[in-house]
Amino acid sequence: DAKTTQPTSMDCAEGRAANLPCNHSTISGNEYVYWYRQIHSQGPQYIIHGLKNNETNEMASLIITEDRKSSTLILPHATLRDTAVYYCTSSLFHDKIIFGKGTRLHILP
């Protein structure tokens, strides 16, 4: 079973910020939170990851709550190309990485 839970789908208007939530209330203190996205049938691509602090890169921002029970991936200015399935995962050292079903994000023109 996935350690993370996500909404099945979300809509966001083009140009607006897309905020994708993830619940990971059972992860351990050393587990990292990773986000990936998958477009069509391509393999998932890495977006961002973090442990405790908020993180930002050229693609997105990751906000992790202080208790680490949840996080939010933020795409600051969503475009039609951001339409994809987004996966939140947690991982530790040599442990298995479970993806779950992810969130299907629809960007509306």
Q: How far is the CB of 55 from another protein (least distance, A)?
A: 13
Cα within 13 Å of Cα(39), Cβ side: 8
Q: What is the CA radius of gyration of the chain?
A: 13
Longest dimension (CA), the chain: 42
The token pair at 7 is 């909404």
Is 21 an interacting residue with respect to another protein (CB under 8 A)?
A: no
Q: How far is the CB of 73 from another protein (least distance, A)?
A: 15
The pattern of x and - marking residues 57 through 96 that bind another protein according to CB under 8 A reads: ----------------------------x-x---xxxxxx
Please choose, out of 15-23, 43-51, 56-64, 68-76, the segment that lies near another protein by the rule CB under 8 A.
Answer: 43-51
Q: How far is the C-alpha of 56 from the C-alpha of 47, rounded, in Å?
A: 10
Among 9, 26, 45, 57, binds another protein (CB under 8 A): 45
